[in-house]
Copies of this chain bind each other. A is one copy, B any other.
Amino acid sequence: MEIRVAIAQMNSIVGDYYGNINKIKNNIRQACNDHADIIVFPELCLNGYPPEDLLLKTQFLNDSLKSIKDVKDFTEDKDIVIILGAVECDEYYNIYNSAQIIFKGNLLGKYKKRLLSSFSFFDERRYFNPSDILTLIELNGSKIGITIGNEICFPNSSLYSAVNNETDLILNLSASVFYKNKINSIHNILKARALELSSWVVYCNMVGGQDELVFDGGSMVIDPYGVIEMNAPLFEEGIYFIDIDAEEAKRAKLKNSKSSSLCQVKNNVEIININKIVSKKRKIKSITSKIPDENELLYSAIKLGLRDYLVKNGFSSVVLGLSGGVDSALVASIAADSIGNKNVLALIMPSEFTSKKSVEDAVELSLNLGIEYKIISISELYNTYLDTLKESFKGKTFDETEENLQARIRGNIIMAFSNKFGHLALVCGNKSEVATGYSTLYGDTAGGFAPIKDLYKTELYKVAKKYNEIHNKEIITKSILEKPPSAELRPNQKDEDKLPPYDILDKILFNYIERGKSYNELLEMGLNEEIVKNVINMVEKSEWKRRQLPAGIKLSELSFGKERKMPITKKYRFW
């Protein structure tokens, strides 16, 4: 008899027990209506992910226990097994990342995450205790294992090597984060697990934005032969169903189990027998969504990350500076899609160094998007600053000081609109700038959220072109896409006056930051000595600036912010 599994690809809000419980109950109702035998929820979906130091508040922990009870009581009359991701806490405030196993108003057991992560942005050892007990659910003659989060990524030490001859189906409760190439990675890992263990694998992922993180959804079911049988959409909330034939796993195991049984690890296994009748039902067809290409994925991740930052923090509109360059053009365009073009205000703020073309391009883009724009000249303000400082700066020549002043005037004006009207100020800096410190702190970096701060300049062009393609229209104009990048803070300035060409710069940055290559290893790639030194210097000297940047969306394997913890004060010889 096939087991019908409902996968609740939920968008939780951190700490919002009231809202999250309501969503959980609605999902359970719908799963019951559709005759599911089991419903799986994402990792910590009751509490939202990651709760961070809210986990250090006793009140928050007690609320988690109360909320689990609330869900449990709700299920008294429901003939469905619920696997709920939630924070578990004992009477001594030992806390666990757990899956609560609930059936008909009873808590049948709890699986507590065993392999805690302390890398990248993960910090699980700060909060959670590890457990060493495996949980195996027996249902209708099938054996179901549970894993949480990236436990599924560890082949040796995971559930499976212990009970691999027994598990027909593995449920993975995840809060897995989007980054470039992530989709490929997770497919490969899940398929590998299914094949190695001849087991079905159900991956139930969270969806939605939370500060820097975008959970990308894309929940999946892999059969014991490594074939994707169900594939939920990315970046969308929903509930999805699949009928799983556990016998398929048993048949597959017959061919496959001999060698793997050699390396069995003995663990404590808790077996939970669930006395539920799995009845025959008309087979349903599962969803299989198309995976968009990389640039569309990036676009969608930014759109969702921005939307959720706005909505979850109570903003309904944004303001940003539009320079006529591609960075702010892309941010404005995606913002219009995220929150509606009527809710985007663009400020075009020319100075004496701004070309006429830049203003025209910014206006044209605003018209293409149908967003409100205002042209506010900063010349008078700039000159007033120069006057005010003339006496103090006597004998000094024009340098970055004056460039920064212009950027900071613009920052002030954007913030004034944000303060006056309650718009969230968006920051348009990209990863190439953030990495090298090629930006003015309190100027172009002023604002509440930086949607593209983890996107290299070269990637950003591709996403901008994809934007036009998705909208089937040249919204971001050719002129914007083709002009040479410039901050326009002094006459005839080009980014390449200070930075290497972006294709070279981004290549160095990617290999230095994401891949951790040393100076010598970069030279071995054939890169120029002086350029590499210059780039490393810029990266290492701008740590203090990065500390003061607003949050932005993680889009790469290694974003700045919580994932990269570098001292400001250091005296290391990089070559």
Contacts and interface: CB of A to CB of B under 8 A. Distances in A.
Given A54-B566, A384-B381, A550 B550 contact: no
Interface residues of A, number: 84
Interface string A45-72: 0001011111011111000000000000
Nearest to A403: B419
B412 A408 contact: yes
Interface stretch (A238-246, A252-260, A394-402): A394-402
A184 interface: no
For this chain, the copies found in one complex come to 2
A154 interface: no
Interface string A548-575: 1111000000000000111111111110
Contact of A572 (B16, B400, B448): B16
B399 A385 contact: no
A125 B556 CA distance: 23
Contacts of A15: 567, 570-573
A413 interface: yes
Interface string A82-100: 0000000000000000000
A569 B400 contact: no
Interface stretch (A197-205, A291-299, A306-314): A306-314
A409 interface: yes
Nearest to A420: B401
Given A16-B572, A416-B405, A53 B564 contact: yes
Contacts of A277: none
Interface in A365-419: 374, 376-378, 380-381, 384-385, 387-389, 392-393, 396, 399-401, 404-405, 408-409, 411-413, 415-417, 419
Residue in A374, A380, A405, A415 whose Cβ sees the most chain B Cβ within 10 Å:
A415
Interface of A: 13-19, 48, 50-54, 56-60, 118-119, 123, 125-126, 209-211, 308-309, 312-313, 374, 376-378, 380-381, 384-385, 387-389, 392-393, 396, 399-401, 404-405, 408-409, 411-413, 415-417, 419-420, 441-442, 446, 448, 516, 518-520, 544, 547-551, 564-574
A419 B392 contact: no
A384 to B, nearest CB: 5
Contacts of A209: 569
Contacts of A446: 441-442
Given A13-B569, A378-B388, A389-B413, 17 more contacts: A14-B570, A17-B572, A19-B571, A50-B567, A54-B570, A119-B126, A210-B569, A313-B568, A376-B392, A381-B384, A389-B416, A392-B417, A401-B416, A408-B412, A412-B412, A441-B446, A544-B551
A412 B400 contact: no
B399 A408 contact: no
B54 A313 contact: no
Q: Most chain-B CB neighbours within 10 Å: which of A211, A309, A417, A574?
A: A211
A310 B184 CA distance: 46
A56 B329 CA distance: 36
A465 B539 CA distance: 42
